[in-house]
Structure 1
Amino acid sequence: MIIYGSLVSPFVRKLLAYLGEKGIAFELKGVGIADPDPGFRAASPLGKMPAMEDDGFTLADSSAIIHYLEAKYPEPALIPRDPQERGRVIWWDEFGDTVFAACSGKMFFNRIVAPNFLGREGDLAAAAQAEAEELPKLLTYLESAVPASGFLVGDRLTLADLAVASPLMNLRHCGCGVDAAAYPKIAAWSEAILSRPSLAPWIAKEERMIAKVLAPTS
């Protein structure tokens, strides 16, 4: 199995964590925005990442890939079979992929990606607005929703945890980590998820890459 994507994408990060938790072997091929790699383009004609090639079968979009893999490799289940828990996991996956990733993306893209990877000025006003107006509302909601179990759904890790924790890493790259005093439940929960063996090695690679890009040139 080949996965195409960039380590700093929250959607790629979510998928890599899922694969790690499931114990599924894969090869990661790094690609960037508008990458002409023919394998990536064949798997994702619209350039959406991550993309996958699995024994000739291709698919793009992290959630689509994960639902495919969950059907192919049902154990350990990261999408519960219980109807209510399953519905809640799908909701959290949608939350992480849409409003939460969109908010963190405004900061990460405009402050990190645009100036350092694309060589153009980012929209810093949009990033500042997202940080000041959008992010507090989302974090307040998430703080109220993190249960005592330490997992978003049920009493064990699910896709919900991976999907929502992943965009938090992009916030951390921007220097906007979660304030533990203001959001203690999010801080404890996200630290536990992001430090799991399925995520920690990839995050370490990300941090080295970001640090290298941001390092001042002589």
Structure 2
Amino acid sequence: MKMITVYGVQLSPFVRKVLISLDILAVDYTLKAVNIFDLPEEFKRISPLGKVPVLDDDGFTIPDSTVICQYLNEKYASNKLYPVELKARTKVRWLEEYADTKLISVLGIPLFFERLVKPKFLKQQTDEQRVEENIKHYIPPVLDYLESVLPEAGFVCETLSVADVTIGSFFLNASYADYEVDRGRWPKLASYVARVYQQPVFQKYIESDKKILQLS
């Protein structure tokens, strides 16, 4: 049986979301690296939006992390990624979408890209003024919302779901860019993120990310 292939780079929160989801489902896969700064033409044919990840399941290719995770959840009939109960499943999908839209907008380009990708991989200087403006003005409202909806204990639902994986992946990248949730201002969010990090499926990637980034 052909193994599933994921195209992308592990440090992408969208790719990591799919990889962790595959681990939760206990599905074997191979990761095929893609240079996101110089996408090959053959990749563009399977990713019309020019984004990672793309999943290849025995010739059936699927772009977009959310679509991929929904496909995996349905294919393996496990309901481990999305709960069965309608309201719980809807909440998970909403918070997944919120993270994919809002967290990437404040923790992605103006933070992770500026502080880590530019100096480490592109040999460019960080625009620290842009970073500080983002931290001061744009990150707080997004974290205020998460603080208002996340639980004081446990996860978004009874067990780890795609919502937790998605939110955790973005904050993990933020931590690599020297940004941590202020526990004094957002205590529920800070505790929640710490619980997500403690899960074995996250610990696996935290350790391998450190090797990629050569962090101690």
Corresponding residue of 1:126? 130
Q: Which runs of 5+ in 2 are unaligned?
A: none
Corresponding residue of 2:68? 65
Corresponding residue of 2:107? 104
Corresponding residue of 2:59? 56
Given the alignment, which residue of 182, 188, 191 partners 1:185?
A: 188
Q: How does 1:72-151 map to 2 (within 5 A)?
A: 72-105=75-108, 106-151=110-155
Superposed CA deviations along residues 97-119 of structure 1, whole A, max 9, x for unmatched, are 01111100110111111222123
Distance in 2 (CA, whole Å) between partners of 1:13 and 1:194 is 13
Superposed CA deviations along residues 181-202 of structure 1, whole A, max 9, x for unmatched, are 3322222211221221212111
Does the 8 Å contact 2:112/2:176 carry over to 1? Answer: yes
1:22 pairs with 2:18: no
Corresponding residue of 1:160? 163
Distance in 2 (CA, whole Å) between partners of 1:39 and 1:23 is 29
Q: What letter is aligned with 1:3?
A: V
Distance in 1 (CA, whole Å) between partners of 2:12 and 2:212 is 13
Does the 8 Å contact 1:16/1:199 carry over to 2? Answer: no
Please identify, of 159-168 and 178-187, the stretch whose mean Cα deviation from structure 2 is larger: 178-187
Q: Percent identity?
A: 34
Distance in 1 (CA, whole Å) between partners of 2:38 and 2:77 is 32
CA 1:70–1:39 in structure 2 vs 1: closer, same or farther (change >3 Å)? farther
Superposed CA deviations along residues 132-167 of structure 1, whole A, max 9, x for unmatched, are 111122222212222134211x32221111111111
Distance in 1 (CA, whole Å) between partners of 2:171 and 2:102 is 12
Please identify, of 121-130 and 16-25, the stretch whose mean Cα deviation from structure 2 is larger: 121-130
1:3 pairs with 2:13: no
Distance in 1 (CA, whole Å) between partners of 2:61 and 2:41 is 13
Q: Which runs of 5+ in 1 are unaligned?
A: none
Taking structure 1 as the reference length, what is the TM-score of the superposition?
0.88
User: Secondary structure, in 3 states, of the residue corresponding to 1:32?
Assistant: coil
Corresponding residue of 2:15? 12
Distance in 2 (CA, whole Å) between partners of 1:107 and 1:138 is 14
Taking structure 2 as the reference length, what is the TM-score of the superposition?
0.89
